[in-house]
A and B are shown apart, each in its own frame.
Chain A
Amino acid sequence: MIEAKTLPTSYVTQPGEIRTSSGKTLHTDEMIINMGPQHPSTHGVLRLEIVVDGEIIVDVIPHIGYLHRCFEKHAEHMTNYQQVLPYADRMDYVAAMNMEHGYALAVERMMKIEVPERVEYIRVIMAELQRIASHLIAVGTFGIDAGAFTPFLYAFHDREHILDLYEMTCGARLLYNYIWIGGVSHDLPPQFIDKAKEFCTYFKPRIKQFNDLLTFNEIFVKRCANVGVLPKDVAINYACSGPMLRASGVNWDLRRDDPYSVYNRFEWEPQVGKGEMGTVGDTWDRHIVRMREMEQSVRIIEQALAGIPVGNVQAAIPKRIRPEAGEIYARTETPRGELGYYVISDGSTTPFRVKARSPAFVNLSVLPEISRGAMIADLVLIAGSVDIVLGEVDR
């Protein structure tokens, strides 16, 4: 088996270099292949220009921008801060609650609003449910990249339950506009808590089933182990965050290390990759970190459901959102990593500048580094394990 780490560097042809074999002049050249914007496996409209020597990759150049929708420019032209929220949803459409949470947190910190406790608990429940939903998509599509079509459908079946919970609460299944500045738009309906508890008990054996079917399957393990290894220092230098960083062995989770909302009241552990089936930081580690994070999210949700206080969820929503002139950078932990909003206010009701630091964009930048020396079949897995959503990459 060709291990990425043990590949001799002389195997990789430099452009124009003539490799000889047995003394005869043999001109070999590299092929440039385009995994174009439309491809069954790039998760969205991502164009990867791959320079290959046979099946070994020499270089990967990602081209992005096919889904750029000018979120930051739109935010400057809204009549108030509240109107930016539907746009923030649509950046990472797979994890919309976390996007809204980040933005609401930024503006609340700028205006120094204290939200009621019930609102914080509701936000945590929604954010963690969204984390589960997003990770289900990530691991499901990762399975498809590896060739297993069935686990994807099991994952989507579970995700339906989460989307039903959301629809019951705010009326929308994918793009919610639920977490508002100062509170949430609707209080939880009466049957939400029971249904959410039901979901938690239903979901735990499903994670186990998914692991049996895909994660610990020897073929899958052999495909993913030692592939796309991201060493610790490279991950930190490239500013990776989220499961990519934790899988490389760095125990850094914003919910614990830079706490926001009420995360510090719950008992849970950030999951770190240990290199169980290969090297620390390979694609299998990222996959298992995501699977285990789902289990931890279920833990958080159960604790939050048990301890949710009563209150008025719209008590702190300001009539007029007019922060004083200044700037703030607020970061949260989305399923993909560290999402930061840098908001500059000039004292009016419209934001002067909203910059979104999207985790997928930064994580994608490490792709060329970790895929040199891998094979094309591996590149698909590596790109899948970074877990990009192009809406967030391009904003």
Chain B
Amino acid sequence: MLAVVWSALPIVFILLYALVTLYMEMKVAAHMQDRLAYMRTGWHGTLQPFADILKLLQKEDTISVAADKKLFMLAPYVVFVGTYGAFSTIPFTSLYIGSNIDLGAFFIVAVSSLVVVGILMGGWASNNKWSIFGAMRSAAQMVSYEIPTALTILIAVMITGSLNLQEVAKFQEGGIQNWVVFGGPMPLTQKLLLIPFTLVTFLILFIASLAEVNRTPFDLPEAESELVQGFNTEYSGMRFAMFYLAEYANMFLVAAVAVSLFLGGWASPFGSFMSGPVWGLFWFVGKGMVLVFLQIWIRWTLPRLRVDQLMYTSWKVLTPFLFVCIFAVGIILVL
């Protein structure tokens, strides 16, 4: 019984976080474009996310006649499960981690690739040429960006010595200088040598995570101006809400992974000041939201990459840089 409650806590968090992020996205987007977003539902539009969710929930559930019904209905849930499963190994605070397995990071990479399966199912089952386009592009994109993600995780693991994310977070306790992005708690010479490589690795992880969640500049699967809505075209109502929720959950997931591995997880940047289990949650969510804000900021600034340029970036730019970083970090750690 306790296990059910224990494992349901992240979904409570995800629901609350989705509402906040929906609001933040539209407000940040609006103010970057010199305009106001919703102002009439609630004070300055604060009730708008509720209104959006209500609208999606009460829509008519249409499935086109020629669609593959079983796959069509299953696809959103597969995508959500792929995302939510990975939440089980994220340490929200020093006292809470869904499942304290020793293979945390590896498990995340493995489970989050279920999302690809879900998207392919959704695109194929819609029986719509535009959806198939979106699904194929998305599959190619996500598969190719798993490699840089896995390699950055490898680098972080090399520095911290454990795949268990809770251990990694504990490793970075003690202040901002101990964060892996600044070299980790190492002797000074090693740290200084490591810093350029860890900074580059963190940047690459951020870029790869943008591609994992299908956000601009990598949002070709849902390129609104080309494919209407990509693989989402035929979905409406509750199923679309599921896809949407899964996308936002995925945003936080990749931010959480980046935070746990590189930015200290739930550890306070001031060392022992403002640390503790409750403060840990605050720091973790705060850092995660900063990264989510960064994702939103980038989305509203940059144009979209074409699918072959996307592949080029992944295979010919990110991966070689990461190989260089792996070698360098390995050598520096051995010194």
Contact = CB atoms under 8 A, between A and B. Distances in A.
A149 interface: yes
A2 B309 CA distance: 9
Given A33-B129, A148-B301, A376-B226, A55 B307 contact: yes
A147 B32 contact: no
A153 B303 contact: no
Contact of B309 (A1, A144, A376): A1
Interface stretch (B98-106, B110-118, B216-224, B253-261): B216-224
A213 B306 contact: no
B305 interface: yes
Interface stretch (A84-92, A214-222, A291-299): A214-222
Interface residues of B, number: 28
A149 B300 contact: yes
A219 B303 contact: yes
B223 A222 contact: no
Interface in B210-231: 216-217, 219-220, 223-226, 228
A214 to B, nearest CB: 7
A284 B34 CA distance: 27
Contacts of B133: 55, 376
Interface string B140-167: 0000000000000000000000000000
Interface in B299-335: 300-309, 312
Interface string B19-56: 00000000001001111000000000000000000000
Interface in B232-283: none
B314 to A, nearest CB: 13
A377 B307 contact: yes
B129 A214 contact: no
Contacts of B35: 153
Interface in B173-225: 216-217, 219-220, 223-225
Nearest to A148: B303
Given A33-B129, A148-B301, A377-B226, A223 B306 contact: yes
Contacts of B304: 146-148, 219, 223, 377
B309 A147 contact: no
Given A222-B309, A377-B307, A147 B129 contact: no
Contacts, number: 79
Given A219-B305, A223-B305, A378-B306, A147 B216 contact: yes
A39 B228 contact: yes
Given A147-B223, A150-B300, A1 B228 contact: no
B224 A40 contact: yes
Contacts of A169: none
A145 interface: yes
Interface string A128-153: 00000000000000011111111001
A380 interface: yes
B34 A41 contact: no
B225 A40 contact: yes
B264 to A, nearest CB: 31
Given A31-B129, A222-B309, A380 B225 contact: yes
Given A144-B225, A154-B34, A380-B226, A1 B217 contact: no
Nearest to A380: B226
B226 A143 contact: no
A31 B128 CA distance: 12
A145 B34 CA distance: 21
Contact of B34 (A39, A146, A153, A375): A153
A378 to B, nearest CB: 7
A39 B224 CA distance: 9
A157 interface: yes
Interface string A20-59: 0000000000010100000111000000000000010000
Nearest to B132: A31
Contacts of A40: 224-225, 228
A182 B303 CA distance: 47
A224 to B, nearest CB: 9
A219 B207 CA distance: 14
A375 B312 CA distance: 16
A124 B130 CA distance: 46
18 contacts: A1-B308, A1-B312, A2-B308, A33-B129, A39-B228, A146-B303, A147-B223, A147-B225, A147-B303, A149-B29, A150-B32, A150-B300, A153-B33, A217-B302, A223-B305, A223-B309, A376-B226, A377-B304
Interface of B: 29, 32-35, 129-130, 133, 216-217, 219-220, 223-226, 228, 300-309, 312
Top 10 A-B pairs ranked by shortest CB distance? A147-B304, A153-B33, A148-B303, A146-B303, A41-B225, A147-B303, A377-B306, A220-B303, A380-B226, A40-B225
